[in-house]
Structure 1
Amino acid sequence: MPDPNDPRMQQMMQQLQQMMSQSMASAGPVNWELAQQLAEGELAGEPVVGPAEQSEVAEALRLADLWLDSASAWPSGVTQPDAWTRKQWISYTEDSWKQMAEPLASQMGSAMGTLVPEGMEGLLGPMADLMKGVGSALFGAQMGQALSKLAAEVLSSTEVGLPLGKIGRAALLPANVAEYAQGLQLPVEEVRLFVALREAAHHRLFTHAPWLRSHVITLLQAYAREIRIDSDAVEEAMSGLDPSDPEAMQTMDLGKLFRPEDTEQQKLTLQRLETALALITGWVNVVVTNAVADRLPTLSQLMESAHRRRASGGPAEKTFEALVGLQMQPATLRSATKLWETMTEQHGVEGREAVWAHPDLMPTTDDLQTPEAYASMSGTMSELDMSIFDQLAVNDPPADDEDGEERPGS
């Protein structure tokens, strides 16, 4: 028998007790309070961000924006430079995770309702409510584990491919940037500037293409609507779940339960999602490379490291694989980068930026296979009136709540 005085055993029992008590209190498909507590518990003892680090990040973002002015037709999208700890990253990005994960968890929870035998709904009503609470805790525990791992490696607020905090609030994580620079054996000042360039470029893009963030979220929601349940897998998983082991709730592979095989519609949605994410990253690659020119001696090493990071499973790859099982292909990103390079050569910076005016103008998955053909076909892009962006911003401004924070869904 395990020793009840063992601190680890006491911690496990406390977590289990908390998990079960909070599961009943959670009103949503994911117990976010539990997720945050578990994630922050993994990051105990993290140092705070001091004034010097705040100043270094602010200066890097200022210089990055200055360089980007020569490589983009848009002005800066950064309204607030910031430096975050890992715990702050979890706290400041929670609303975005809710937007991305709750539709999936909600659909999974609804699918579980189909397991109740016909005619037994009334009799099993209280048990069904309990299972919803347990399901909420299960998703919360898994999100907590995922967030703690991501918080330990993300370099900025946009590294997963879209701003997780408020658009315009550009943030770097100094502790992670320092560890990344040490691993590369490169000066931390140059690595910080490189990360700041990519962060500022992302905010510039999402500020001037205000539809883009909701476009990605909508694709995730479209995937969620097609989720089906594997009842045999659920029964097998639940029968083997040890309630005395909280870690089992964090390590259960939910994908095997709810995504036994994607529907044709889901496969199409994943293809569109991969294309959108590749186009975002490809644009950032081109803009940052053109902005830097020969100003950063280690640019080629840093770009190569970024490619390796993505190919081996970086934060963006881990995020979307965990959410929807998307395995992003390096070849897709290379094609997207090539497309934006070709667009810049043939139509200039303004012609390239004009493509982001509306989702209907965006390259498709097929266009990525022949980037030169797409650029040749887009002969009128350079003649588009750039005031389209201003008109879009007037007709469909980002939704803000009363205290100025961006609302979910915006």
Structure 2
Amino acid sequence: MTATTSTRHPGSGRRSPVDWAAAGEAAAAIAPPGPAMTREEIAELVAELRDCAGLAVDPVAETAQLEAGPDAGEVLVVDRAGWARANARSFGHLVDPVLARALERQRLEKGRDVPDAFLGLSRALNAAETGGLLAFMATKVLGQYDVLAPDGGRLLLVAPNVAQVEREIGAVPADFRLWVALHEETHRAQFGANPWLAGWFRGQVTDLLDDLLADPGSTVERFVEGLGRLPDILRGASDDPTGGAAGDGTAGGRRTPTGLVDLVQTPEQRARLDALTAVMSLLEGHADVVMDEVGPSVVPSVAQIRARFDARRRGTGPVDRVVRRLLGLEAKAAQYRDGARFVRAVTDEVGIEGFNAVWAGPDALPSPAELREPSTWVARVHG
């Protein structure tokens, strides 16, 4: 798969501060290929993952009572390099217009453009840094519904990562591969059955980025000031993965940063990100519930897979944990748990049809407080 990301801002002659194609290629070169496999094993893995993507459609539709529909996007089985290139392209499509607006604001305020020589150096450095991040992430992701893809959402299954994890936890390969496909198909159904959701999600992310880059100088100042709280990110403030005993990222009356991005946000921006995180928790938790509730008739060893998979998630090494905290991935892991708890609580109270009212539109999505107290969402939406 070859990236074709434009390196110029839409509607202008200025190049983007990030060479996204170069970032994708850098990640592809850096990321390790994955577990050792013969050519025949790779072909079998890829073919089975494609089959699993098809086999997951009906169980998800029946369990979630959501159907992705014909326009929910294609299914791709990729290696780590392919995942990195695809995400570099998607990020560029989302971020470049935001960067263009930030550069234009800077030009108007200072009366001059960023010098081409500086921009060229910045592009190279940013591509290298972004490539390093994508390379790390490419070794972690089992699958993804890429809602940011410029030509519409699509489902990606990362073959070497699936093979690596199934070996590490001693899972039955056929069961584990279908289990992973069920999770990603649920995301495909969430967005495919509710066409408004993708546009709303992209809009929220774009608005947050626009706001964050509205005053780059202040953003840098907040980052420098926030570096003093870096130890809080690395060690956490409690045993709770979210950094707060109540699961809300607070400790001792002070909100604990959950990643580097937290250091550059104003309180208002954090509140907006918390609201978006609540929705992401809903999406991830719902997919986790569906992948488990299809039951042993579809995935015979589902209970064993879940137990071993969760144990593996808790057992990451110290270096991996530090990197995950810096990138905010520990907070993402909590999304699965918090979202699943919300989904199960609401379904127990009002059933699947009652829960599916959450997809009616933006106003029906849970707030952070409602995610923590599902009964308040039920009372608001169902009366």
Q: TM-score, normalised by structure 1?
A: 0.66
The answer on 1:132 being equivalent to 2:132 is no
Structure 2 counterpart of 1:266: 269
Distance 2:119 2:346 in 1: 50
Sort the Cα spacing of 1:193 and 1:361 in 2 relative to 1 into closer, same or farther, 3 A. same
What's the % identity of the aligned pairs? 22
State the Cα deviation string for residues 317-367 of structure 1 (Å, max 9, x = none): 989975xx6862655543322222233233332332232121111111111
Structure 2 counterpart of 1:371: 374
**TM alignment of 1:43-192, pairs within 5 A:** 43=31, 51-77=43-69, 80-102=74-96, 105=99, 128-158=115-145, 169-192=154-177
1:197: how far off? Answer: 0.7
1:107: how far off? Answer: 6.7
1:200: how far off? Answer: 1.0
Structure 2 counterpart of 1:39: 27
Check the 8 A contact 2:67/2:192 in 1, yes or no.
no
Structure 2 counterpart of 1:214: 199
Sort the Cα spacing of 1:312 and 1:356 in 2 relative to 1 into closer, same or farther, 3 A. farther
Distance 1:156 1:259 in 2: 26
Identify unmatched segments of 5+ residues in structure 2.
Answer: 1-7, 225-258
User: Secondary structure at 2:331's aligned position in 1?
Assistant: coil
Sort the Cα spacing of 1:108 and 1:309 in 2 relative to 1 into closer, same or farther, 3 A. farther
CA RMSD of aligned residues (A): 4.1
State the Cα deviation string for residues 169-203 of structure 1 (Å, max 9, x = none): 43322221111111112222221111011111111
Check the 8 A contact 2:347/2:355 in 1, yes or no.
yes
Counterpart pick for 2:361 among 333, 358, 361: 358
Check the 8 A contact 2:166/2:173 in 1, yes or no.
yes
Sort the Cα spacing of 1:163 and 1:259 in 2 relative to 1 into closer, same or farther, 3 A. closer
State the Cα deviation string for residues 139-164 of structure 1 (Å, max 9, x = none): 21111111122222321133x8x575
Structure 1 counterpart of 2:294: 291
Distance 2:15 2:366 in 1: 40
Distance 2:198 2:136 in 1: 24
Check the 8 A contact 2:90/2:149 in 1, yes or no.
yes
Sort the Cα spacing of 1:212 and 1:326 in 2 relative to 1 into closer, same or farther, 3 A. farther
The answer on 1:337 being equivalent to 2:340 is yes
Structure 1 counterpart of 2:254: none
Distance 2:165 2:329 in 1: 25
Check the 8 A contact 2:186/2:290 in 1, yes or no.
yes
State the Cα deviation string for residues 58-84 of structure 1 (Å, max 9, x = none): 221222223223212222446644321
Check the 8 A contact 1:72/1:287 in 2, yes or no.
yes
State the Cα deviation string for residues 100-134 of structure 1 (Å, max 9, x = none): 443665577578779x9x7xx66xx6x72322222
Sort the Cα spacing of 1:281 and 1:308 in 2 relative to 1 into closer, same or farther, 3 A. farther
Sort the Cα spacing of 1:81 and 1:99 in 2 relative to 1 into closer, same or farther, 3 A. closer
1:207: how far off? Answer: 0.6
Greater Rg by CA: 1
Check the 8 A contact 1:167/1:203 in 2, yes or no.
no
Distance 2:89 2:324 in 1: 15
1:226: how far off? Answer: 3.0
Distance 1:97 1:348 in 2: 37
Check the 8 A contact 1:82/1:170 in 2, yes or no.
yes
1:94: how far off? Answer: 3.4
Task: Count the aligned residue pairs.
Answer: 325
Distance 1:233 1:264 in 2: 11
RCO higher in structure (CA 8 A, sep ≥6): 1
Counterpart pick for 1:303 among 302, 306, 311: 306
Distance 2:92 2:373 in 1: 36
Check the 8 A contact 2:75/2:154 in 1, yes or no.
yes
Q: Which amino acid aligns with 1:94?
A: A
Q: Which amino acid aligns with 1:269?
A: R
Q: Which amino acid aligns with 1:40?
A: A
